[in-house]
């Protein structure tokens, strides 16, 4: 369902927002310096920073990874269509802003089923005159429904970049997560791209932070080994440099990352 549906009243949206428990979109928003969060999110964030300060680096560098990927796809590969699932709360340099800054005729469909994201969807629904931006209130567990609804905005005869960042960790079973990705990619044409990044079980600190978050009452988020991240790209052509820490994916020469190692890996794959 689109946020333009007149039946979606603001009061109904607010009623779906639970401020008694931390929420991943709001928690992540706090870590990247946003203001769309509640005290419970900030308290949990501070608790986890005490356990593992590096999670802040993961949040910020994952956002920077998104920007570099979108600029590469729009600027160097000519991609003009983006399907961003698990959008999260809008901050600076959202997918549509980066893509349309590079290619004004880019079309972007955001997908999330979080009521607070829905409440802020108007901030996402901006576009250049040449392009278009849309928002779907839809669930990752219904990939065919997502593809069908996205076809109102995107041309499925042309390549589409599917972006799923810091979202698949909510799917506990790895094989189920792989199946959801495969079903989404199966509906995209040849020449399309898959972009994924997620937090990884690559340090004791990250594992402890994940455990603390999952015990907070929030919807659990499961960090995975790197080979599981790589498995999402089975059958695709990996774009260089492959599956790497997000800080090492085509870093910009004039803005190199010089911080500590991050527990987040990402990659881009192309459907032949």
- At residue 17, φ and ψ (nearest 5 deg) are -90, 120
Cβ distance 2 to 135 under 8 Å?
yes
User: What confidence score (pLDDT) does residue 16 get?
Assistant: 67
Look at residue 11 in the predicted model and tell me its pLDDT.
59
83 near 167, Cβ under 8 Å? no
Q: How many residues can be counted in the chain?
A: 272
- Cα 63 from Cα 165, distance rounded (Å): 9
pLDDT-flagged residues of the chain (< 70)? 1-17, 123-124
* CA-based nearest residue to 198, from 241, 141, 262: 262
pLDDT at residue 1, as a whole number: 37
What does the pLDDT read at residue 38? 81
Q: Shortest CA distance to 154 belongs to which of 50, 82, 60?
A: 82
User: In whole angstroms, what is the distance from residue 206 CA to residue 214 CA?
Assistant: 12
What is each CA distance from 228 to 47, 190, 244, in whole angstroms?
A: 28, 24, 13
User: How big is the CA angle at 269 (ends 154 and 62), to the nearest 5 degrees?
Assistant: 85
Stated as kind and residue range, the H or E segment containing 107 is strand 107-112
Which phi and psi (to 5°) does residue 107 adopt? Answer: -115, 135
Whole-model pTM: value is 0.88
């Amino acid at each position: 369902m689109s946020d333009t549906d007149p039946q979606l009243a603001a009061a109904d949206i607010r009623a779906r927002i639970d401020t008694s428990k931390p929420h991943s979109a709001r928690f992540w928003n706090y870590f990247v310096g946003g203001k769309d969060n509640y005290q419970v999110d900030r308290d949990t964030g501070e608790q986890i920073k005490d356990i593992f300060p590096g999670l802040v680096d993961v949040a910020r560098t994952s956002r920077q990874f998104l920007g570099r990927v979108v600029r590469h796809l729009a600027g160097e590969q000519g991609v003009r269509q983006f399907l961003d699932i698990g959008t999260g709360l809008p901050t600076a340099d959202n997918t549509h802003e980066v893509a349309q800054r590079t290619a004004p005729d880019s079309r972007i469909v955001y997908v999330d089923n979080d009521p607070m994201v829905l409440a802020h969807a108007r901030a996402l629904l901006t576009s250049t005159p040449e392009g278009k931006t849309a928002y779907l209130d839809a669930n990752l567990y219904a990939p065919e429904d997502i593809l069908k609804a996205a076809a109102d905005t995107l041309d499925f005869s042309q390549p589409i970049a599917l972006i799923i960042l810091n979202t698949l960790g909510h799917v506990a079973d790895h094989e189920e997560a792989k199946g959801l990705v495969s079903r989404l990619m199966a509906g995209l044409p040849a020449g399309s791209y898959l972009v994924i990044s997620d937090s990884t079980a690559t340090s004791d600190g990250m594992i402890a932070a994940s455990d603390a978050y999952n015990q907070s009452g929030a919807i659990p988020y499961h960090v995975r080994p790197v080979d599981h991240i790589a498995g999402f790209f089975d059958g695709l052509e990996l774009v260089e440099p492959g599956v790497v820490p997000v800080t090492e994916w085509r870093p910009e020469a004039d803005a190199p990352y010089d911080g500590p190692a991050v527990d987040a890996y990402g990659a881009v794959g192309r459907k032949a």
